[in-house]
Copies of this chain bind each other. A is one copy, B any other.
């Protein structure tokens, strides 16, 4: 099989959860969908600068298979497809919130370390 076979029996919950969010853009996709509720493919694409069409569809498909996002196709031309989070996806996002806060704190920490460095190097006096 070339199907991604979600790596089998997990050792702990972290393991199982990381399995569904690891992927270069999945965190951001979750965030976008949580922010906007419903988004069409192209909107999502514009919202995630740098992602390729291929990866976006691939990640969306995997997340759909994992029961995180809902995909609604309207029988129109030109095509219209809307993505949104499922209830399960929303619970994941809620569970991810503390981690997001941790990440923000970490970014701040890093930045303040950089500032200290440039202080030492470039700002001998106020």
| Chain A interface (Cβ < 8 Å from any Cβ of B) | 10-18, 20-22, 27-28, 30-31, 88, 91-92, 94-107
Contact = CB atoms under 8 A, between A and B. Distances in A.
A27 B31 contact: no
A15 to B, nearest CB: 5
A17 B100 CA distance: 7
A22 B13 contact: no
A103 B28 contact: no
Mostly, the A contact residues are helix
A30 B14 CA distance: 10
A30 to B, nearest CB: 7
Contact of A99 (B14, B28, B31, B103): B14
A14 B96 contact: yes
